[in-house]
Structure 1
Amino acid sequence: MSNDIAYPVFRTTDLALALSTARSLMEFGRCEYSEVSAYAEFHSFAEVRRAAKELPGAWFQGQAEYAEFDGVPWEQQPPLAVGVQGPALPADPAAYEGRLPVECRLSDQPVGSIEDAFAAAIGTNMGCINWETLSWPDAPEAGFHGESKHAEVTLLFNSRTRELDEPAGDHTVLVHVRSAVFDGRQTREPYAHWLAGQAGLTVIGPGQRT
């Protein structure tokens, strides 16, 4: 089993520039089966309702405790707790008590189908767009074979970490490669530098693992 490591290659406060830069890098590895997913966390009733109008196809799920589902039939479980698409979200603010932050997901979508709408809906909230099942090419001059399993590009909104555990006032683009450690050194890091260079970018920080 192998894992990936993601290197930051671009950072800006300009959301449109961050999205266009991430797309340029993604296009370098895009293939016919590439997909895109997105995730965000919304911390208020107003923000959830606004996002639901802008992203009607997204799934929204609030916080819940496992114990509250014990013995409760599926049809009687709170919709917000089990997850619903935007149009089915409760309109009563009381339904959101104890459920915030609400997570929003769009998974395994065609490339180009959700990115603009999601970026427009994110606001000041933390979230990400992840382009996956890409195919990085060989880099014979750098001594590296291509990569498919761990070929991804991530755009972080209002955060600098993949865990979205600390807000930031800017947006960061990450390029993913296979994690391969030898003698305490990431031997695939030069490949990340090479990939970044193909899009006119450069690695600007340490790799991030999940």
Structure 2
Amino acid sequence: MPASIDMWQGAQMSNGVPYPVYRTSDHAKALAMARRLLALGDRDDAHVSVDVELRTVAEVLEVRQVLPEAWFRTENKEFWARDVDAHEDFRCDWHAAELSEGASDLVPLLPLWASMLDQPVGSVEDAFTSLVGARYASISWGQLIWPEVPERGYYGRVEHDGLTIVFNCDDTETTRRIGTHTVCVNVHRTEGSQSYATWLAEQIGQAIIVPAVRSGSA
């Protein structure tokens, strides 16, 4: 599973299930549709997290400039495989301000992931979406409380409710697909989960695209 989605899935815990409800080739349209969904819920305690994969030095430097508060972590398997105890200064994550700008320092770390976690809603989404391009990335909103709809058997549970966009991917577990951006709603796993997710999609004139992803089939 790609690292950004693994982070998102883990944050949602085992009782949350994501449903893809909108797919587009336009980054901005994906964000606009996500915001329409976001407006349906209680956002008083909501926060947003972003994550993007970077495979070249140029990409790292661009994101470092656009997101100066981002944290970077390496996904280089050889780097991870080193004996941590044998290297006093061994680290796998760096704040943008302390990340080297030199190619000789960055190349051994590639691919890197840049993340900003638990940010105020509306603070980073536009800038982040504008830099995604063909990169694999995600925006996730957590602590969002979806409205209660008793006739669909659903009562909002803040620890499981959420919303995500995966860029250049079909949904939260499939292989990457450049140019395909998918919006998913995350709801509490119940017998009525799919019915409720369908209701959420209907509020923005959409429908569930495919059955829930493997790890969250209800």
TM-score (norm 1): 0.87
Instruction: Kindly indicate whether the alpha-carbon contact (under 8 Å) linking 2:169 and 2:177 is maintained by their aligned counterparts in 1.
Output: yes
- Select the residue among 153, 172, 185 that pairs with 1:162: 172
Q: How far apart are residue 72 of structure 1 and its match? A: 2.3
What's 1:61 paired with?
73
Q: Deviations over 1:168-206 (max 9, x none)?
A: 3211000011223xxxxx531101001111222211112
Q: How far apart are residue 143 of structure 1 and its match? A: 3.5
Number of aligned residues: 200
Q: Say whether 1:187 aligns with 2:192.
A: yes
AA aligned to 2:203 is Q
Structure 1 distance, partners of 2:126, 2:214, is: 27
Of stretches 60-69 and 165-174 in structure 1, the one that deviates more from structure 2 is: 60-69
User: Structure 2 vs 1, CA of residues 164 and 54 (structure 1 numbering), >3 Å: closer, same or farther?
Assistant: farther
What's 1:18 paired with?
30
Of stretches 51-60 and 137-146 in structure 1, the one that deviates more from structure 2 is: 137-146
Structure 1 distance, partners of 2:69, 2:102, is: 20
Instruction: Kindly indicate whether the alpha-carbon contact (under 8 Å) linking 1:40 and 1:128 is maintained by their aligned counterparts in 2.
Output: yes
Q: Deviations over 1:92-112 (max 9, x none)?
A: 111123321101111011101
Report the secondary structure of 2:199's partner residue.
helix
Structure 1 distance, partners of 2:114, 2:96, is: 9
What's 2:63 paired with?
51
Of stretches 127-136 and 84-93 in structure 1, the one that deviates more from structure 2 is: 84-93
AA aligned to 1:203 is I
AA aligned to 1:57 is E
Q: How far apart are residue 142 of structure 1 and its match? A: 2.7
Q: Say whether 1:204 aligns with 2:199.
A: no
AA aligned to 2:60 is V
Q: Say whether 1:93 aligns with 2:108.
A: no
Q: Say whether 1:176 aligns with 2:181.
A: no
Structure 1 distance, partners of 2:143, 2:214, is: 18
Instruction: Kindly indicate whether the alpha-carbon contact (under 8 Å) linking 1:28 and 1:199 is maintained by their aligned counterparts in 2.
Output: no
Structure 1 distance, partners of 2:55, 2:14, is: 34
Report the secondary structure of 1:19's partner residue.
helix
- Select the residue among 136, 145, 154 that pairs with 1:135: 145
Structure 1 distance, partners of 2:51, 2:68, is: 14
What's 1:118 paired with?
128
Structure 1 distance, partners of 2:130, 2:159, is: 30
AA aligned to 1:145 is Y
User: Structure 2 vs 1, CA of residues 15 and 168 (structure 1 numbering), >3 Å: closer, same or farther?
Assistant: same
Instruction: Kindly indicate whether the alpha-carbon contact (under 8 Å) linking 1:6 and 1:209 is maintained by their aligned counterparts in 2.
Output: no
Q: Deviations over 1:37-69 (max 9, x none)?
A: 011111111111111111111101123224342
TM-score (norm 2): 0.84
AA aligned to 2:82 is A
Q: Deviations over 1:3-54 (max 9, x none)?
A: 2111111011111111011011012113211111011111111111111111
Structure 2 distance, partners of 1:30, 1:122, is: 27
For the aligned residue pairs, the C-alpha RMSD in angstroms reads: 1.9
Instruction: Kindly indicate whether the alpha-carbon contact (under 8 Å) linking 2:154 and 2:192 is maintained by their aligned counterparts in 1.
Output: no
Report the secondary structure of 1:124's partner residue.
coil
